[in-house]
Amino acid sequence: MIHYPGSLVFVAFGGSVLSDVLYDKVRAVELRDGAVHLLDQRVLPGTIRYEVCTTARAVAEAITAMVVRGAPAIGVTAAYGAVLAVKAAYEKAPNRWRREAAADLALLRLSRPTAVNLAWALDVMERVMAEGGEENPLERVEAAARRLHADDIAANRRMGAYGAALLPPKARVLTHCNTGALATGGFGTALGVVRSAAADRGIAMVYADETRPWLQGARLTAWELIEEGLPVTLLADSAAAALLRTGTIQAVLVGADRIAANGDTANKIGTYGLAVLARHHGVPFYVVAPLSTIDRHCPDGLSIPIEERSPQELLQCQGISHSPATAKAWNPVFDVTPASLIDALITEGGVVERPSTRTIEKLFAAKKR
């Protein structure tokens, strides 16, 4: 079932309710002065530092190194990386700039394999690159990347409004990883729902899983919420079951890095277990993600590539070893939550209850009308 709550137009676009600055101060990526500026999320919250990338290769390396993370933010960053690739290619070979840019675009595609928004954003940019003749393409390519960024923020605001309508006033919610402005072009997906709810009917508390091993919940989600004066309580990942058992949580809100055609969802490792716990305790489990995260060419969760990273990320914490030197570690970055455990998929196109191949296709059909 797809529905579009009637009260949402006012919440999302009512002017004074969600202003450009209210609960929306953080930006992870920006294109200015001929470079891509990335807020280095590896060193937050202790250090505010920007990585300045002047080449597409540097952008690809920053994505791989997790200077920027979160599927929508990676997509925006890749689009800006494509701008740098086109600029360098045209300056080097104005008569064959498309061919010259191809290697940089391939590097960008390989920087993170699971986040489908990356490939989607580069597909958009390559379609723009294919338009027109051999004249200087930089202006239209840069305009396309900036439009993609602005569209992501607008989509997040719509998702936030849809999701907020599903929550009771002054709700207590549990979230995993970081799904806020740091993980997107701005405003956020699951945290966008929190921002919208806070501006509309209030949020009593956001409980944030620490999210091992990169501690995105502890370092990033908690920082974002505190920066904007929203209530947050941090908990160890293993404490989620005990919290849900108290009966005080009204919803679990998570994001997604890739959603298969049948609704199976890949997200930060630990999400699947949280979905099982939520179902056992009768708590609604909501996935909040833009339509660009849905991979309609991927039939189910078994077909989603799951990135594995260095064992050292698990054996150490911020460079300090806490495990025996000869210990092995299994470090998948994502897991897959079956669609059967997802109560609703919240997108900018509407809310899909009990997502499936049929209901997701209906969502895209409705978008075309």
Q: What is the dihedral of CA 291, 293, 294, 298, to 10 degrees?
A: 160
DSSP element (H, E) containing 183? none
- Cα angle for residues 299, 265, 148 (degrees, 5° grid): 90
C-alpha 352/C-alpha 362 separation (Å) is 9
Residue with tokens 């405003």: 187
- φ/ψ of 345, rounded to 5, equals -105, 120
Contact 23, 230 (CB under 8 A): yes
Contact 248, 221 (CB under 8 A): no
C-alpha 297/C-alpha 303 separation (Å) is 10
Question: Which amino acid does the sequence have at 128?
Answer: V
Using DSSP bridges, classify how beta strands 265-268 and 285-288 pair: parallel, antiparallel or unpaired: unpaired
C-alpha 84/C-alpha 95 separation (Å) is 17
Residues in the chain: 369
Residue with tokens 């699947």: 272
207 three-class SS: strand
| Dihedral sign of CA atoms 367, 190, 179, 24 in order | positive
Catalytic residues, which ones?
A: 257
Using DSSP bridges, classify how beta strands 344-347 and 350-353 pair: parallel, antiparallel or unpaired: antiparallel
- Cα angle for residues 354, 359, 360 (degrees, 5° grid): 105
